[in-house]
Structure 1
Amino acid sequence: MKRFLILCAALFGLLIPAPSFADPADINAAARGVVRVVIIGTDGTDVYPVSHGSGFAVSPTRIVTNAHVVTQAAQDDTLRIGIVPSEGNDANYAKILSISPRNDLALVEITGSLRLPPLTISGNPNSDSGEVSSVGYPMNVDQAQGLDLNDIFNSQPPVKSRGFISGARPSRQFDTILHTAPIARGNSGGPLLDGCGRVLGVNSFGADSGGSDAEFFFAVSTKELLPFLRANNVNARVNALPCRSLADLDEAERERIERQQTAARAELAERAEQTRAKRDRVQLEAEQAVQEERENTMALAFLLVLLGVGAGVIAWQAWMQQGEPATDGDTHDSRTERKLMIAGTVAAAALIAALALWFTRPGLDAIDRRVNAAMNEDDGSDGAKQPASSNGEGTLLCTLQLDRSRVTGTPDPELQFTWAEDGCVNERTQYGFSGGTWSRIFVPNQEDAVSVNRYDPVTGEFRTDRYLLSRNAMTSAREARGKYTPPKCGTDGAAASLGDMQGAVTAMLPQQPNERLVYKCEARTD
């Protein structure tokens, strides 16, 4: 009985899928675009905070928050809205672009030089389970840290809390998500994120629990958020793909490689069996052909020997008859001489031809030569039919492989570039070569993300790994990148030199990227 229970428990464990946990790196990456939204008052001389909530970037300059966070500023011209980022000390003011009290959404725009990394919004509104994270600036945490209202003007990382989706339901006349990721006053307007750091909703309020902290919380769903953004001409990043971890992706990649290797071994075994059967058939045909040729040659040589012997007998008889008198006016010697000459010539020619046929008849080694020639001829004809490789030089069209990618943003479904044998792309961008891999690292000044592009000319695979870094990490990466100048295309040793240079940047990157995009490239046919 005990063994039966253990077996049932094991089977039950196999049937229940393992829980999907949020990737801290993705949540941290999304948190870069989460801000504190501060309502600021003034007494004519000094400015002071009145209240605050949270918000998140949907473009470099536009912030989504709750309507109730900024309503006071909308109704009082003496109040202003401040945006305090999670990193740096460049807090800026913002103006209200739109308020929608019906679904508690608001859109504000930064009026200063501050620029933020936009968050990606989940395009799958039907998820009613799974782990989620709330990100924002709860006031109770500020109070626990002993921070006063003036301290909130300083940049601080937002608070992250985990929970689970409890269901999607309409409330207060708009669509909301019920969840258990704790929020408090000050979290209003912050994002509710899935495991890949994509926005599932805008945290708005908690369930009433008699004055104590609520156990269930509500977020305005993307069914409300996306139409609101479209109505305000915001082209937000939207991703409706399933959230996959890199661990799952790596495991799937290992299984794919194993399947390819198994299929390759099976194909190799099948081709070997076909080759063996073909060789056996060719061997049999060659043996039969050689044996037939040997027999025909030997028979012809035997006939020539008989002819030679017969001619030799006639020649011998003619030689023996020399000197006998003739009866027809001609001398017997002249006739026998001609007879001797003709018979002797025929005998000699027949014997020589017989010897030539005998010694030139096909030997048994001719079988192997004919088999090898036939196999090589067939291989050459098959090889001539093989298409040329599409992964060499030339213009390539690359298609995104969704089943092999981890997509957290909104990538291009297709890429096109021209690849040269020396690693030059589009005749101007040199790729580095190191450790058997072609790669190029891009560290932009306008975006807090490092991209590592890799291309394999043998398999035609193009891969982009994107690392969403903090401001400090990006500053360090830009400094490391600024210390070298990539060599130009066509320069001697350019690929190896750049491969060494890029090592200073790759050494600073995290172990795993936030996004991995895998493309399959083929030569363009048009």
Structure 2
Amino acid sequence: MNRLCTAIAALAACVAIMIAPQSASADPADIDAAARGVVRVVIIDTDGTDDLLLSHGSGFAVSSTRIVTNAHVVRAVLRDRTLRIGVVPSEGDDASFAKLIDYSPKNDLALIEITEGLRLPPLVVAGTIDEENSAVVAVGYPGNVDMAQGLRMRDYFDSQPPVKSRGFLSGIRPSRQFDTVLHTAPIAGGNSGGPLLDACGKVIGVNSFGAMTGASDAEFFFAISTKELLPFLRQNDVTPRVNALPCRSLADIEEEEERRTQLAQEQSRNELAAKAEAEREKRARVRQEASLAVQTERENAMAIAAILLLVGAAAAFIAFQAKQAEDGEKKMMIAGTVAAVAVVAALALWFTRPGLDAIDRRVNAAMADDAGDAGDDGNGSGGSTISVASGPLICTLEVDRSRITGTPERELEFGWDEQGCVNDRTQYGFASGSWSRVFVPNEEDAVSVNSFDPGSQTFTVDRYLLRRSAMEKARAERGTYSPPSCNADDAANKLGDMQGAVLDLLPDRPNERLVYSCRAKTTGGEP
């Protein structure tokens, strides 16, 4: 049986290696962002003149002050009151003590809480595990790496970046009466309690133990599944940040957005071509109708003019005959008058008949009238005018256009005016043809760049999850200027220039991009 299990394990490892190139690789930026909330958990003996390190493991933040680790990492604290739990973050010098909140040996989970001023960025927990997207990363503090580096005991209290090891998801199965995730990302003593991350940096398990292997056996490792983690957190009144969306790269989303843009442009070109063709056909039809009408009017005018000339000639002949008669003076005057009127009318009709240039004038007038009718939408705005967002808007998250690594709002209200003032209080800057506002908070290690396109009514949030040193530089640069208030003189252009220095400090791509489609807010059921 042991040989059969070994053979199956080896076969599974081979299959994992064979399919590895087809799996999505983890994004380093996402893993680095998650690693900010990974800590070293140390057990300290305080029953002497100097604090003595007894053991250590790993953990990760699920809120700003609460940390998940393995129960076996903190087991000794339950047996000896002189022992304390220490938390050493991955950067900075603000290590802290922590107290034990919950201890669950049945699924090897423990929850500890920081008792001093340290604040950590919580990790996002995956709501589902995508087995097809099987690249995983184990993050923590393996003891064998510490030994290889020659770390001394006091070095364990200094902040150091955690170790990241890559592997692949090998399966999800129950083990020791609780659900585990089987993977090939190497872990060692000291990794216990650290997170197992998917390619987007979301937690899919809590690393716990490895398989007992011989020299020729494939190496597999076990992490406690989120099926165990999430109920454990909720029973301790921790509301974790959960994201059940598939893991997608920003490159894939940008490629899809480019295809969407190209499709829209192609559709627009086709619509313009169809409109132009319809206009050409319409113009030809109108020209034909105008040409027929003008030709008919010309022929009618010429025919009537000819008849009037004949009438005039006949009247002139009668007048001439009346002149020869002794009593024909009155008859001559009447006939002469008729002849003169007929000739003048004939000449007037001849010279006022429509020319061939009347065809073009009538075609242009008819096309202009039709264009005016088509453009009038009933409120005088003209249907061909692009609708530019202004006033109160409701913006809805476009999931298929976004890269979501956290738990964002699905809908938000957004008030916009033509001067770039949002919600009547926040001025946006204008630079390089776009509106944006950079936010550098003091309480979170993340920079957000909010942008708005009034033409397409699209609101975008790009979030950059930075390490503490990068955040300090961003905060320092942000502190050099005060954004102008709404409606201040040239406020948009001034703020656009001010924000440039902060933007220059940011990476090329954000960790998270949220795209919202906005529409006019309805009031009383009417838009």
Q: Same fold (TM over 0.5)?
A: yes
Q: How far apart are the structure 2 equivalents of 1:301 and 1:16? A: 94
Q: 1:200 matched to which residue of 2?
A: 204
| CA spacing shift, 1:111–1:387, aligned 2, 3 Å | farther
Q: 1:63 matched to which residue of 2?
A: 67
Q: Deviations over 1:182-212 (max 9, x none)?
A: 0001101100001111101110110011599
3-state SS in 2 of match to 1:463: strand
Match of 2:499 among 493, 502, 511: 502
Q: How far apart are the structure 2 equivalents of 1:383 and 1:18? A: 53
The alpha carbon displacement at 1:309 in A equals 1.6
User: What's the TM-score, normalizing by structure 2?
Assistant: 0.92
Residues 129 and 164 of structure 1 are in contact (CA less than 8 Å); yes or no, is this contact kept in structure 2? no
Q: What are structure 1's unaligned runs of at least 5 residues?
A: 1-14, 325-331
Q: Deviations over 1:89-120 (max 9, x none)?
A: 11111111112211111111111111000101
Q: How far apart are the structure 2 equivalents of 1:252 and 1:96? A: 47
Q: Does 1:153 align with 2:160?
A: no
Q: How far apart are the structure 2 equivalents of 1:251 and 1:218? A: 36
Q: Does 1:517 align with 2:521?
A: no
The alpha carbon displacement at 1:514 in A equals 0.6
**Residues 420-431 of structure 1 aligned to structure 2 (within 5 Å):** 420-431=417-428
**Amino acid aligned to 1:485:** S
Q: 1:260 matched to which residue of 2?
A: 264
Q: Does 1:230 align with 2:234?
A: yes
Q: 2:359 matched to which residue of 1?
A: 367
Q: 2:3 matched to which residue of 1?
A: none
| More deviation, 212-221/88-97 | 212-221
Residues 246 and 406 of structure 1 are in contact (CA less than 8 Å); yes or no, is this contact kept in structure 2? yes
Q: How far apart are the structure 2 equivalents of 1:349 and 1:380? A: 44
Q: 1:309 matched to which residue of 2?
A: 313
The alpha carbon displacement at 1:44 in A equals 4.0
Q: 1:249 matched to which residue of 2?
A: 253
3-state SS in 2 of match to 1:59: coil
Larger Rg, first or second structure (1 or 2): 1
3-state SS in 2 of match to 1:379: helix
Residues 129 and 166 of structure 1 are in contact (CA less than 8 Å); yes or no, is this contact kept in structure 2? no
**Residues 138-149 of structure 1 aligned to structure 2 (within 5 Å):** 138-149=142-153
Q: 1:77 matched to which residue of 2?
A: 81
Match of 1:348 among 340, 360, 364: 340
Residues 191 and 203 of structure 1 are in contact (CA less than 8 Å); yes or no, is this contact kept in structure 2? yes
Q: How far apart are the structure 2 equivalents of 1:509 and 1:46? A: 43
The alpha carbon displacement at 1:20 in A equals 1.1
Q: How far apart are the structure 1 equivalents of 2:266 and 2:260? A: 10
The alpha carbon displacement at 1:150 in A equals 2.3
Q: How far apart are the structure 1 equivalents of 2:477 and 2:152? A: 38
Q: How far apart are the structure 2 equivalents of 1:149 and 1:382? A: 81
Residues 396 and 412 of structure 2 are in contact (CA less than 8 Å); yes or no, is this contact kept in structure 1? yes
Aligned residues: 500
- Identity, % of aligned pairs? 65
**Amino acid aligned to 1:352:** V
Q: Does 1:439 align with 2:429?
A: no
Q: 2:416 matched to which residue of 1?
A: 419
**Amino acid aligned to 2:106:** R
**Amino acid aligned to 1:222:** T
Q: How far apart are the structure 2 equivalents of 1:135 and 1:171? A: 22
Q: 2:457 matched to which residue of 1?
A: 460
| CA spacing shift, 1:388–1:193, aligned 2, 3 Å | same
Q: How far apart are the structure 2 equivalents of 1:29 and 1:46? A: 35
Residues 26 and 514 of structure 1 are in contact (CA less than 8 Å); yes or no, is this contact kept in structure 2? yes
Q: What are structure 2's unaligned runs of at least 5 residues?
A: 1-18, 378-382
3-state SS in 1 of match to 2:94: coil
**Amino acid aligned to 1:411:** P
Q: How far apart are the structure 1 equivalents of 2:435 and 2:261? A: 21
Q: 1:26 matched to which residue of 2?
A: 30
The alpha carbon displacement at 1:389 in A equals 4.4
3-state SS in 1 of match to 2:495: helix
Residues 123 and 240 of structure 1 are in contact (CA less than 8 Å); yes or no, is this contact kept in structure 2? yes
**Amino acid aligned to 1:509:** L
Q: Deviations over 1:9-59 (max 9, x none)?
A: xxxxxx998431111111011000000111111124322121111110011
Q: How far apart are the structure 1 equivalents of 2:356 and 2:21? A: 67
**Amino acid aligned to 2:361:** R
Root-mean-square deviation over aligned CA pairs = 1.8
